[in-house]
Structure 1
Amino acid sequence: MYLPVVLTVLGLWSVTGEKNDFTINGVELKALPSIELRNGDRLELQCVMLVAKTTDFTLNSTFIFYMGEDQIKTSHSINDQASYVIPKVRVSHTGQYKCEVQVGNKKQQSEEIGIRVTGLAPPVLNVSKDEVSEGDEVTVRCEAPGEWAYKKFTFYKVNQKKDEKKTKQTDENYGEVKFLIKEGEEILRFKCDVKMFIIDETSQASAMKTVTVVAPFSVPRIEVLPSLNFTEGVNMSVKCSFQEGRKRSDDIKLILQKNGHIISSSTTNTLSYYQVATVEESGNYTCKVESQTTSKINNTRIDVAELFPKPRLTLERFGRTPYINEGDEITLRCWVDGLAPEDSNRLEYKFILNGGKRSSTRRGGRFTIAADVRFSGSYVCQVTRDNITKISAPLDVQIYAPVKNPVLTHIMRSNKTVVLGDTLELTCKCESGTPPITYSLLRGDKLLDNKTMEGDMEARFLVNSSKSHDLGQYRCRATNRNTKSSGKYSNTVNVTVIVPVSAVQLTMIPPDGDVEEGAQLALVCRAQDGTLPITFQFYRRRGNELLLHNVSEAAARHASHTVQLFSKQEDGAYFCAASNRAHKEVRSSSSEARAVLATWKKAVIGIFVILVILAAIAICIYLHTDKKKKKGTDISSEKKRSSKPSPPKKASVELKAGEPYMGGADNEDELHILKAAEDTSGNNQHNHEVQQTEADHPGPEAHPDAMEDKVNREDPPPGVLVGTTSPLSRP
């Protein structure tokens, strides 16, 4: 395993030596014995390297052989050549070959040579079964040993009746196909050949393989009695049978067909079909035996002569219109062509309506009735002779019943009203009358709509009540083919259209909403339009809505409500709502109402204010008079003091702790006025008397200077501004 590596390393060392040098002059590929070979010959490919050296030293070379572009062999050698041997060549070895020599970092390829191998050997054939049954499948395998090139296998099934061929292309050395064993095949032979596309050569056929076919059942047999040709009226029988093979299948089924339709079947070996023969029994009969994989059939034809032809049925009538009306007399006539009159009269004729719902037996072939809608339908005539019954072709008879007075119905809603803008729904239907029936809707004498109804269906009319004049009397008219043009009229339906309430307005008295306490607030709610009666509701909103009054008016579109003894508790926003049978409530805008003082309360307050004003005036007059008296007394005292030295005046009034400085106390009169304004009216009178006494009888301390000092030491009363001239104290 390591020898090639070691040799390569040694070779590289020797090559890289300074004294040992070489060059590859060429590479040649030889085919021995020749490039033209037969299938199975020996082929040797020699790859020869032409090399020049400086000295005689050993080179370790790698030889690579190629077929086309595929590498097929690699060998290492210290010689100048290497070989690739194929002991037995095949056609698949045909192609272009070359070789390559690698020494150290040098490499060189030879020229390509073409090898051609001919003489393709016959393929080998195998089959999956030697004995098969009809319907089985046989797998056929064709092999070309040693051949791998792309090829086509052709398979042949050799039959006594007709050969069958299949092909398959592949690059494998074998191919497989399946052949179905068909009915009637007994001994089969299979063979195959192969064609190589690489040389366009087809081999000889393979050896033949034989396969024996074993039938699971025989071809069925048909027996017809009394014969294949006879006259109707006799009993006929058809018998179908087959024989089983030695390889019986459990899924075998026997089927009898007539003109492509199955009339009987069985899982046994035999089936029989019995029938009283009529001309309808003529036809092609097929007996078929089948399994899941194969089948066999046998055919025959039976011809039955006609005893008498089918009867014919016609209608005779004497009406004036193209349609048969109720009450018209009609006659159904049935006869058989080719029979003498006396023979026809002896036959029994049966008239059948709608598949047997009604039937009647008559002699002579005539059936006369008074037309009634109940007798409309499909009629056939049935005639029996010598156990043979024949039925005529169907005849449709349509009897028209005139329409009766229709019924017009108003489809009411749950509220039993029709509101302006809603859709008015009316239905019209006749209890009897042959369709098609045309219904016409009228309002008064005006035609609104027409509808033609097929079958027993009502006509439905939709009228949009977009205007108030859509109210009125509605009726419908019904006509059909045999009714006169005037038709039949329904009952009358009176329709009233309800106009919804609109434009609701609330009026208040007084209009400004200021209501004296104890007075009345009058509310009037009015609707501009709407069908009477109208329900009015009065509300007050103060946080929540409170219903005050509910009244229904049948004669007017307005209503009123009075709130008695109005007070502050009745303050709020007032509004009203109106509705009628349209069940659409419309609300007005809201208006505010407030309680104000009554007139007598205002008068009492006014009188009280006047009295207060008069009292204030009186106090002012009194104070003014008192001031004048004090001023005279002060003048006389000043004259007495002028002869005596007066002590120095204090610069300002002494302030108590925490009291603000309010100005000087030089004006004695102001201090007296402020003092008087602080007291009540009773105290004012008492103080006045005290001051008067002190003025008339001055004591030792009544000296003007002493009085001035006294006034300066006294604190001003609370709430009085020192130095002001207003005679009034705080309220």
Structure 2
Amino acid sequence: MYLPIIVTVLGFWSVTGQASDFTINSIELNAVPSTILKNGDNLVLECVVKFAKSKDFVLNSTITFYKDDNKIHTTSTIEDRVSLTIPVVRVSHSGLYKCDVSVASRPKTSDNVEIKVTGLFPPHINVSKNEVNEGDDVIVRCEAPEERSTMLFKFYKIKNQTVDETKSKTTNDNYQEVKFNIKEGEQILLFKCDVYLVLIGETSPYSESKHVTVLAPFSTPRIEVLPSLNFTEGKNMSVTCSVQKSPKRLDDMKVTLQKDGHIINSSTTSTLSYFRVATVDDMGEYTCTVESERTSKSKRTKIDIAELFARPNLTLSSKKQYINEGDYISLKCSVAGLATNVSRSLAYKFILNGVKTFKREGGTFSLSATENYSGSYVCQVTVSNITKVSEPLHIQAYAPVKNLVLTYMSNNKTVVLGDTLELTCKCKSGTPPITYSLFQGNQTLGQKTMQGNMEARFLVNSSKSHDLGQYRCKATNRNTQHTGKYSNIVNVTIIIPISSVDLEIIPSSGNVEEGSELSLICRVKDGTLPINFKFYKMKGSEFLLYNVTEREKLYAVYELPTFSKQGDGTYICVASNGAHKEVRSNSKDARAVLATWKKGVIGTFITLIILAAIAICAYMHMDKKRKGEDITTEKNRSSKPDTAKNEKLALEIKAGSVENEYDHHLLKTAEETTGNNQQKHEAEHTEADVANPDAHQDTAENNVTMVEDAPEANNHP
């Protein structure tokens, strides 16, 4: 169990101990027999390491061989010399070689040694087939089996001892394949290749040649023309294509005959013929082509045909740029180079749109122009079985525009401001192109030119209130450029939608006296009449109060003649017109307040109460003053009577003889004052009785005055 651990420890100790017991003096690489070799020679690479070490000391070293810095061989040894043998060298072995040694993680590398191998062998070549058909493919394989390097393979296709086609490919493999297509007419081909070593820069000799025999599935076609390749028109002409098919090939083939690049006949048989009475139009280059799935062959020939007579020319006598319906026109057909008597004896045909035929002698054709006779005219002339047709002449008779109708594309004749009006103009008859113009009054709103029997549609944006009014349409064509026709008039009413609604109330404060009148005035800023007004009261929910339609005014009035508390709430109005959009006003609050006469009664009552209170207060004040004067008089007489009077009042109170609280208060005040003054009087009298015999009398007067002032002080707020 512990043996691997022991061995590892001992090994580590051995290497550690060796580190100080050796030195690598040098390392070199030798090539035997030489650094320059021929392809196929034997090569020995010898790596020699020179050490300095202790006597009998054994070194364990690792030696590695490299080619162009790529590792090719590694070995572990205790020797100081290691050999690497390459028994058969090839050109691809050329390069830079070196070796290195590593002992106890101490490396050392030799110098590079360049090895050069010459004499690259020719590559091997093979073909997939030795016998092929035209159109087939041949796969060619080139191989350098002994070489190992980046190689450029070149392939050569040789025809009639001349290189016809080359292909090349670069690869890291020692072989490559390419595909050659066998073309029409090729018979015996040679293929060969060579190899170029990219990194070494050496090219091999050519490989041996491979022969490939080409078989034709069919022959090149033949063209036979009768009566000849050069003759005068009017004769019967035949063109025949023929081909011989190989008995070894059963592939389907197709034969076509072309004239100036256009196929005029075709067949799947080996023979194809084309017959016709020749004209100069049949002159040109003819090509016969035979083709199968993979190959084709062709043959060309040119046929020249002399003209018997010239192509007819068709002209129009009228000099007008445009022909109006009802104009008289004349067509003339002529053939240049013909004698007059011959020209008159010919049969002329005038053909309209390839359908209608009019035969005329002398070559002229006259007619009154109508739209039905518009179209493409040609004239046809026949001489000696040769028929020739002129270039087409287009004649257009313009019928005037009629029955112009303007239509407003809506269910009604009203439109809301801002909407788009769609108006359509169309003529029931008239030769196009027709130009339609839309008018509002005398103002042109738009113009359109229509091809064919198409209507003109105009879109008008009703962005302004003055867009309402009368619309009409005008139509012109080349027959009626200066006059034109006008349509019916369409009246369109533009409805201005309601912009804003304002509610006013009278009185404006919203406070209405009970029994008085409340007026609601609903106004719109702008809008087309008639306008429908609705008045609502909102108290929890909306209640319709009044609904009216005004046809002459932009406002409506709703009156509540006798307003009461039941009328308290918020009021609004809603306005709408032909735009079918309701607009709500601002809201106004109204509440019932007391009537003026009720306020007057209440004010009068309050005034009387205030006057009564003032009178009572004045009476009480006068009564108090009177009683005070009586008390003063009594005090002047004697203080005792005053005291007696107070006592009398007290007795009256006890007996219930005092009439009011005021008297009771006056008595209480007088008693308090009398008691205090009496004590003071007694003291002063004792001290100053002798010195001031009149002091008693003065004191009594003062006491009376104080008693008189006391009630006023108590009654002060």
Question: Taking structure 1 as reference, are residues 251 and 301 closer, same or farther at Cα in structure 2, changes over 3 Å only?
Answer: same
Q: In the alignment, is residue 542 of structure 1 matched against residue 539 of structure 2? A: yes
Question: Taking structure 1 as reference, are residues 489 and 60 closer, same or farther at Cα in structure 2, changes over 3 Å only?
Answer: closer
CA distance in 2, matches of 1:562, 1:160: 122
Report the CA distance between 1:333 and its aligned residue: 0.8
Question: Taking structure 1 as reference, are residues 108 and 355 closer, same or farther at Cα in structure 2, changes over 3 Å only?
Answer: same
Letter in 1 for 2:116: R
Aligned 8 A contact 1:215 1:247 in 2: no
Report the CA distance between 1:435 and its aligned residue: 4.5
Report the CA distance between 1:431 and its aligned residue: 3.8
**What per-residue deviation string (whole Å, max 9, x for no partner) do you get for residues 420-467 of structure 1?**
5555555444444444555555555x4434625243455555666565
Report the CA distance between 1:408 and its aligned residue: 4.0
Letter in 2 for 1:245: S
CA distance in 1, matches of 2:51, 2:358: 124
Aligned 8 A contact 2:409 2:424 in 1: no
Aligned 8 A contact 2:439 2:446 in 1: no
Q: In the alignment, is residue 371 of structure 1 matched against residue 362 of structure 2? A: no
Report the CA distance between 1:393 and its aligned residue: 0.7
Aligned 8 A contact 2:575 2:584 in 1: yes
**What per-residue deviation string (whole Å, max 9, x for no partner) do you get for residues 112-166 of structure 1?**
3332222222222222222222222222222223211333333222222742333
The 5 Å alignment of 1:429-448 reads 429-444=426-441, 446-448=442-444
Report the CA distance between 1:313 and its aligned residue: 0.4
Question: Taking structure 1 as reference, are residues 14 and 282 closer, same or farther at Cα in structure 2, changes over 3 Å only?
Answer: closer
Aligned 8 A contact 1:12 1:104 in 2: no
Aligned 8 A contact 1:11 1:58 in 2: no
- 2:119 alignment partner in structure 1: 119
- 2:381 alignment partner in structure 1: 383
Question: Taking structure 1 as reference, are residues 147 and 440 closer, same or farther at Cα in structure 2, changes over 3 Å only?
Answer: closer
CA distance in 1, matches of 2:60, 2:261: 87
**What per-residue deviation string (whole Å, max 9, x for no partner) do you get for residues 343-371 of structure 1?**
33343323223343x44232222111112
Aligned 8 A contact 1:439 1:477 in 2: yes
Question: Taking structure 1 as reference, are residues 21 and 558 closer, same or farther at Cα in structure 2, changes over 3 Å only?
Answer: closer
- 1:257 alignment partner in structure 2: 258
CA distance in 2, matches of 1:408, 1:39: 103
Question: Taking structure 1 as reference, are residues 27 and 537 closer, same or farther at Cα in structure 2, changes over 3 Å only?
Answer: closer
Report the CA distance between 1:314 and its aligned residue: 0.2
Aligned 8 A contact 1:313 1:380 in 2: yes
Question: Taking structure 1 as reference, are residues 241 and 564 closer, same or farther at Cα in structure 2, changes over 3 Å only?
Answer: farther
**What per-residue deviation string (whole Å, max 9, x for no partner) do you get for residues 627-664 of structure 1?**
xxxxxxx999958999xxxxxxxxxxxxxxxxxxxxxx
Aligned 8 A contact 1:239 1:270 in 2: yes
CA distance in 2, matches of 1:189, 1:221: 30
CA distance in 1, matches of 2:28, 2:145: 32
CA distance in 2, matches of 1:500, 1:198: 92
**What per-residue deviation string (whole Å, max 9, x for no partner) do you get for residues 245-283 of structure 1?**
344254533333222222333344343334443332222
Aligned 8 A contact 2:134 2:184 in 1: yes
Letter in 2 for 1:323: Y
CA distance in 1, matches of 2:17, 2:594: 135
Gaps of 5+ in 1: 1-5, 617-633, 643-664, 671-724, 726-731
Question: Taking structure 1 as reference, are residues 24 and 584 closer, same or farther at Cα in structure 2, changes over 3 Å only?
Answer: closer
Q: Give the TM-score of the pair, scaled to structure 1.
A: 0.72
CA distance in 1, matches of 2:15, 2:605: 148
Letter in 2 for 1:365: G
Report the CA distance between 1:238 and its aligned residue: 3.2
Secondary structure at the residue paired with 2:317?
Answer: strand
Letter in 2 for 1:351: F
Report the CA distance between 1:45 and its aligned residue: 2.5
Q: In the alignment, is residue 574 of structure 1 matched against residue 610 of structure 2? A: no
CA distance in 2, matches of 1:28, 1:528: 114
Aligned 8 A contact 1:21 1:55 in 2: no
CA distance in 2, matches of 1:421, 1:497: 9
Secondary structure at the residue paired with 2:372?
Answer: helix
Aligned 8 A contact 1:153 1:193 in 2: yes
Question: Taking structure 1 as reference, are residues 14 and 314 closer, same or farther at Cα in structure 2, changes over 3 Å only?
Answer: closer
Q: In the alignment, is residue 74 of structure 1 matched against residue 70 of structure 2? A: no
CA distance in 2, matches of 1:44, 1:283: 79
Aligned 8 A contact 1:15 1:21 in 2: no
**What per-residue deviation string (whole Å, max 9, x for no partner) do you get for residues 549-582 of structure 1?**
2222334444444547655444322333333334
Aligned 8 A contact 1:417 1:582 in 2: no
Question: Taking structure 1 as reference, are residues 517 and 348 closer, same or farther at Cα in structure 2, changes over 3 Å only?
Answer: farther
Secondary structure at the residue paired with 1:194?
Answer: strand
- 1:168 alignment partner in structure 2: 169
Secondary structure at the residue paired with 1:89?
Answer: coil
The 5 Å alignment of 1:93-172 reads 93-102=93-102, 107-160=107-160, 162-163=162-163, 164-172=165-173
The 5 Å alignment of 1:235-634 reads 235-248=236-249, 250-317=251-318, 322-356=321-355, 358-404=356-402, 406-409=404-407, 411=408, 413-414=410-411, 416-420=413-417, 426-444=423-441, 446-449=442-445, 451=447, 453-455=449-451, 456-459=453-456, 470-483=467-480, 485=482, 487-501=484-498, 504-506=501-503, 508=505, 521-527=518-524, 530-563=527-560, 568-595=565-592
Letter in 2 for 1:254: V
- 1:715 alignment partner in structure 2: none
Aligned 8 A contact 1:439 1:478 in 2: yes
**What per-residue deviation string (whole Å, max 9, x for no partner) do you get for residues 690-711 of structure 1?**
xxxxxxxxxxxxxxxxxxxxxx
CA distance in 1, matches of 2:420, 2:33: 111
- 1:36 alignment partner in structure 2: 36
CA distance in 1, matches of 2:499, 2:24: 120
CA distance in 2, matches of 1:526, 1:105: 110
- 1:690 alignment partner in structure 2: none
Question: Taking structure 1 as reference, are residues 595 and 162 closer, same or farther at Cα in structure 2, changes over 3 Å only?
Answer: same
Aligned 8 A contact 2:125 2:141 in 1: yes
Question: Taking structure 1 as reference, are residues 316 and 139 closer, same or farther at Cα in structure 2, changes over 3 Å only?
Answer: same
**What per-residue deviation string (whole Å, max 9, x for no partner) do you get for residues 365-386 of structure 1?**
2111112233233222223344
Aligned 8 A contact 2:380 2:387 in 1: yes
CA distance in 1, matches of 2:654, 2:65: 164
Gaps of 5+ in 2: 1-6, 614-646, 662-714
Question: Taking structure 1 as reference, are residues 117 and 307 closer, same or farther at Cα in structure 2, changes over 3 Å only?
Answer: same
- Identity among equivalent positions (%) equals 59
The 5 Å alignment of 1:207-222 reads 207-222=208-223
Report the CA distance between 1:329 and its aligned residue: 0.8
Question: Taking structure 1 as reference, are residues 405 and 252 closer, same or farther at Cα in structure 2, changes over 3 Å only?
Answer: closer
- 1:680 alignment partner in structure 2: none
Question: Taking structure 1 as reference, are residues 145 and 459 closer, same or farther at Cα in structure 2, changes over 3 Å only?
Answer: closer
Report the CA distance between 1:394 and its aligned residue: 1.3
Letter in 1 for 2:286: Y
Letter in 1 for 2:71: Q
Question: Taking structure 1 as reference, are residues 194 and 583 closer, same or farther at Cα in structure 2, changes over 3 Å only?
Answer: closer
CA distance in 1, matches of 2:39, 2:650: 178
Letter in 1 for 2:125: L
Q: Give the TM-score of the pair, scaled to structure 2.
A: 0.74
Q: CA RMSD in A?
A: 4.7
Secondary structure at the residue paired with 2:331?
Answer: strand
Aligned 8 A contact 1:537 1:578 in 2: yes
